[in-house]
């Protein structure tokens, strides 16, 4: 979709066509039938734009919930947008950080204190607005820029659709030319997708890492959204690195500067539970009755020893994030399984054990194992009415398989 087609969608005729496209797709029409039905009353360009937008809204429901019904998207913009629960968590932290940045910038943009007191934020890679909408909802005035004019127009339309225009100013621009001085906080979520697909190398982000760091150096405080796998050496000294997982899946890392002592943090959403380094050191010990699987956010943040302390557990192996313990402790930081069998890994042995237990359904988990899970699943040739959790891991350099079931008793 180009900028002109998108602008047409915002006219009364365009809105009418979009409503119609949404209804036609909701009624289950296939794309060809939907296009020919709409072509009877709308020009070809508008039909295409309306149907594209209607199908993006349907796809966006999984991420944006009911807001998707009034928002606008591009395929990349939707894919790259921060999930609202994660954006809201970040916005709440920014709001609660006690940042003060009073004054009016030379260009007239209010730099500090939204109507409800949130600090002004400069978002230098706004996308379709996933983060800026959450910031505005938290009461922060946001000045945003993005390189892509269509994306900018969409972010603006999204702010308007959600009644947040008064707090949001979005313009086309290059982050490299932005000036973070005078704002309470700089927010940057650089694009991690280039011409050749997704990149994990911060030097290949757009804007590039040196540009981002230069902005950070001039900002009173900053928050950078990065991939969870960011190499530790890229985390600036003194910064806090926070890994966030949503419903057990690590979504992102955020690097915070200018707001506190720094360090490592793991946060679980939707609960908001958060863990920081305590200096705990985990012992290692043999497999006990229970096995704990620490959440990926704690693993990425190198906080497995802290999780082990929560469950009075020990590591199976010093380099692998599985914890074992004698007691069942319920914690959202680590689902717990009861171990029924422990065996050195061998396909033959595992297959025999599962056959003996008439196991037909397995959940396979692995950490520190190179086994191809899907291949193993086929090779096991399962049959039976029972189910089981297989944990593949390494203990003192030797591969092991643990047969487990989700822990159910109230206390071991
Ligand atoms: C990961 S997306 C941002 C997503 C956004 N935080 C959200 O939740 O919707 C990155 C955005 O950065 C923009 N971008 C890339 N390079 C840029 C640059 N040099 N200056 C400004 N924006 C840039 C891209 O156009 C893209 O929209």
- Bridge partners, residue 253, by sequence: 226, 243
Q: How far apart are CA 129 and CA 122, in angstroms?
A: 13
pTM: 0.90
Q: Is the CB of 142 under 6 A from ligand 1?
A: no
Distance 191 CA to ligand 1 centre (A): 5
115 has a pLDDT exceeding 80: no
Choosing from 80, 122, 187, 225 the residue with most ligand 1 atoms within 8 A of its CB, the one to mutate for a pocket test is 80
**φ, ψ for residue 262, nearest 5 deg:** 85, -175
- Rounded mean pLDDT of 252-278? 95
pLDDT above 70 for 100: no
pLDDT level of residue 108 (50, 70, 90 thresholds): very low
111 versus 374: the higher-pLDDT residue is 374
The pLDDT assigned to 269 comes to 97
Q: Is the dihedral of CA 268, 272, 270, 141 positive or negative?
A: negative
Average pLDDT over residues 315-324: 96
Atom of ligand 1 nearest to the CA of 129: 9
CA-closest residue to ligand 1 atom 22? 146
Does residue 186's CB lie within 6 angstroms of at least one atom of ligand 1? Answer: no
- Average pLDDT along the chain: 92
Q: Hey, what are 283's tokens?
A: 């012992």
The angle at the Cα of 99, spanning 98 to 103, to the nearest 5 degrees, equals 135
Peptide bond into 207 cis (omega under 30): yes
Angle (CA) 375 380 385, round 5°: 130
Closest residue by CA, ligand 1 atom 19: 207
* pLDDT recorded at residue 194: 65
Looking at ligand 1, which atom is closest to the CA of residue 128? 9
- Say yes or no: CB of residue 226 within 6 Å of ligand 1: no
Say what the pLDDT of residue 407 is: 93
CA angle 355, 359, 361 (to 5 degrees): 135
Mean per-residue pLDDT, 355-361: 96
pLDDT for 190-223, tens place per residue? 998 766 677 778 888 999 999 999 999 999 999 9
Q: What pLDDT is attached to residue 198?
A: 77
Q: Is the CB of 299 under 6 A from ligand 1?
A: no
What pLDDT does residue 410 have?
55
CA–centroid distance, residue 154 to ligand 1 (Å): 13
């Amino acid at each position: 979709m180009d900028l002109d087609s998108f602008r047409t969608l915002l006219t009364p005729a365009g809105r009418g066509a979009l409503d119609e496209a949404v209804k036609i797709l909701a009624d289950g029409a296939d794309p060809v039938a939907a296009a020919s039905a709409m072509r009877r009353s709308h020009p070809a360009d508008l039909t295409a734009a309306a149907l594209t937008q209607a199908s993006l809204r349907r796809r966006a429901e999984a991420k944006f919930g009911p807001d998707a019904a009034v928002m606008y998207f591009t395929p990349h913009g939707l894919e790259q947008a921060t999930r609202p629960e994660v954006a809201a968590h970040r916005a709440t932290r920014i709001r609660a950080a006690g940042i003060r940045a009073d004054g009016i910038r030379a260009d007239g943009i209010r730099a500090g204190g939204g109507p409800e007191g949130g600090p002004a934020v400069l978002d230098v890679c706004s996308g379709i607005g996933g983060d800026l909408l959450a910031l505005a909802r938290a009461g922060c005035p946001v000045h945003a820029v993005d390189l892509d004019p269509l994306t900018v127009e969409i972010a603006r339309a999204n702010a308007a659709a959600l009644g947040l225009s008064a707090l949001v100013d979005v313009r086309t621009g290059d982050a490299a030319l932005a000036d973070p001085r005078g704002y309470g906080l700089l927010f940057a979520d650089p694009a991690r997708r280039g011409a050749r697909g997704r990149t994990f190398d911060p030097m290949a982000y757009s804007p590039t890492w040196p540009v981002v760091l230069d902005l950070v150096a001039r900002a009173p405080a900053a928050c950078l959204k990065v991939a969870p796998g960011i190499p530790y050496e890229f985390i600036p000294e003194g910064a806090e690195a926070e890994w966030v997982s949503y419903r057990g899946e690590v979504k992102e890392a955020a690097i915070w500067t200018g707001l506190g002592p720094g360090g490592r943090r793991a946060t679980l959403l939707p609960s908001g539970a958060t863990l920081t380094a305590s200096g705990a050191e985990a012992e290692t010990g043999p497999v006990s009755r229970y096995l704990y699987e620490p959440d990926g956010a704690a693993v990425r943040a190198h906080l497995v020893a802290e999780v082990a302390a929560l469950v009075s557990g020990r590591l199976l192996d010093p380099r692998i994030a599985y914890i074992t313990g004698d007691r069942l402790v319920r914690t959202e930081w680590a689902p717990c399984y009861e171990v029924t069998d422990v065996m050195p890994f061998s396909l033959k042995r595992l297959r025999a054990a599962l056959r003996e237990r008439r196991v037909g359904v397995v959940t396979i988990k692995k950490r520190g194992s190179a086994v191809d899970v899907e291949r193993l699943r086929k090779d096991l040739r399962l049959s039976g009415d029972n189910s089981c959790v297989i944990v593949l891991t390494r203990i003192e350099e030797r591969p092991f398989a643990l047969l487990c079931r989700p822990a159910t008793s109230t206390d071991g």
